[in-house]
């Protein structure tokens, strides 16, 4: 045990939507069953290619007509994920005042899909689509949209740090609380599927021809997905807490991680140290686990050096796809679900879905099997990794406490 460097904050409420479903009750049984049937082949995103994607098939709510300029799929996903926490947000607004409730949003795509259609109309017809507004594309538009639907008027901004974005929004929310700038923060991330992103990853030869196969010798790339997760973050004790966080930068390459995992290791160590726990106290690790050869190799090395080979771990990307800027928030939400639905001292863990053909060149991590649970004690601790392009890394340590 080490002395905790930062005060924890409470992840007081959560709403989410992914390919696994709309809301926590729809998501949980599919998550814990390792339901890998929610990825679907599409041939409309990459010309001449049929590839799997983790698309949200649930109907999305309509953006109010008064906010029609913000109407894009990204914001509809946000609206769906925000709806379950609206009551908690309204209570925070009443308790603290709107100017004491902040917003930290994350995204890497914004309204790119709508922008693609607008530009197609420009090329073919000489004018943009009538419904297009530049605010749909702007990263800042995500936070501004949530400000308008929530009524919060505190600090409001959007982060975009590639695949670490969704984890970093929670770190930023905690900072706003630590600095006494806010008494509560709406924090989350969202990304939607679009052609530009799909073709970008395809050009990098990073998209799988089949389904994600993390930690397998046969892995051949990632599958893209979409989704949103929104938290209400407060200073309250008890409940599910963000105990610690670590951030680092590889400064190695624009699109490839340090092959030795030094940046990943640094942020994992920092998260454990900041939380004040022993590494052996971590009962489950949600891997970044993209199923690309580079990520799985370097992450395996980093996990082995920081947590050893015995900690149960799994990648949840075979269930929902890689939701890019939203992935850190989505996977923190999966950890939140694990912590919030124990049976006694036992946590039920998402299984690691792959073909079972381990890559012998990777460390032999303890990949979670179907139906596996772990005795995590009275105050369980779990961890989540998020590693992005450019070597932007973030690890979160979360725990559940009755006090």
User: Whole-angstrom Cα distance, residue 166 to residue 129?
Assistant: 30
Q: Is the pLDDT of residue 2 over 70?
A: no
- CATH number assigned to the domain covering 9-234: 3.40.47.10
pLDDT per residue as tens digits for the range 130-154: 999 999 999 899 999 999 999 999 9
**Per-residue burial over 80-117, b = 16 or more CB atoms within 10 Å of its CB, e = otherwise:** bbbbbbbebbeebbeebeeebbbbbbbbbbbbbbbbeb
Is-contact 161 77, C-beta < 8 A?
no
Question: pLDDT class for 4, splitting at 50, 70, 90?
Answer: low
Please give the model's pTM, rounded to 2 decimal places: 0.96
Confidence of residue 6 (pLDDT cuts 50, 70, 90): confident
For the stretch 302-324, pLDDT in tens is: 999 999 999 999 999 999 999 99
Q: What is the mean pLDDT of residues 267-296?
A: 96
Residue closest to 295 by CA, chosen among 189, 191, 163: 163
Cβ count near 216 (within 10 Å): 17
pLDDT number for residue 200? 95
CATH 3.40.47.10 domain residues, the chain: 9-234, 239-401
Closest-CA residue to 236 (of 283, 174, 286, 191): 174
Topology of domain 239-401, per CATH?
Peroxisomal Thiolase; Chain A, domain 1 (3.40.47)
- Tell me the pLDDT tens digit for each residue of 73-127: 999 999 999 999 999 999 999 999 999 999 999 999 989 999 999 999 999 999 9
**Percent of the chain beyond pLDDT 90?**
92
Per-residue confidence at 375, pLDDT binned at 50, 70, 90? Answer: very high
The whole-number pLDDT of residue 401 equals: 83
């Amino acid at each position: 045990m080490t002395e905790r460097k930062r005060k924890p904050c409470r992840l007081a409420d959560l709403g989410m939507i992914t390919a696994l479903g709309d809301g926590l009750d729809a998501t949980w049984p599919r998550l814990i069953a390792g339901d890998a049937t929610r990825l679907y082949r599409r041939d409309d995103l990459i010309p001449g290619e049929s590839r799997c994607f983790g698309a949200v098939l649930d109907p999305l709510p309509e953006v109010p007509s008064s906010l029609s300029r913000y109407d894009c799929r990204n914001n509809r996903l946000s609206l769906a994920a925000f709806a379950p926490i609206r009551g908690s947000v309204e209570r925070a607004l009443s308790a603290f005042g709107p100017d004491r409730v902040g917003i930290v949003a994350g995204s890497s795509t914004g309204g790119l899909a709508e922008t693609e259609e607008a530009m197609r109309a420009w090329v073919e017809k000489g004018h943009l689509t009538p419904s297009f507004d530049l605010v749909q594309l702007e990263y800042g538009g995500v936070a501004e949209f949530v400000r308008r639907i929530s009524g919060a008027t505190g600090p409001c901004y959007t982060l975009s740090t590639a695949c670490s974005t969704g984890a970093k929004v929670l770190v930023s929310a905690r900072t706003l609380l630590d600095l006494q700038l806010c008494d509560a923060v709406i924090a989350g991330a969202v990304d939607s599927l679009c052609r530009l992103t799909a073709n970008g990853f395809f050009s990098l030869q990073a998209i799988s021809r089949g389904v994600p196969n993390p930690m397998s010798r046969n892995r051949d790339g990632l599958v893209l997905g979409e989704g949103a997760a929104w938290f209400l973050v407060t200073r309250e004790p008890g409940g599910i807490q963000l105990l610690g966080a670590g951030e680092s930068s590889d400064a190695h390459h624009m699109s490839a991680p340090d092959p030795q995992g030094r940046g990943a290791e640094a942020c994992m160590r920092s998260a454990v140290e900041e939380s004040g726990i022993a590494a052996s106290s971590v009962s489950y690790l949600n891997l970044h686990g993209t199923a690309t050869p580079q990520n799985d190799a370097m992450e395996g090395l980093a996990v082995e050096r920081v947590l050893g080979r015995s900690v149960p771990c799994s990648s949840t990307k075979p269930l929902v796809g890689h939701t890019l800027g939203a992935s850190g928030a989505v996977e923190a939400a999966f950890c939140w679900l694990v912590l919030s639905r124990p049976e006694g001292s036992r946590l039920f863990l998402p299984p690691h879905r792959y073909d079972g053909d381990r890559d012998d060149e990777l460390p032999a991590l303890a990949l979670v099997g179907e139906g596996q649970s772990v005795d995590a004690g009275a105050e369980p601790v779990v961890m989540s990794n998020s590693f992005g392009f450019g070597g932007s890394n973030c690890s979160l340590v979360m725990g559940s406490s009755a006090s």
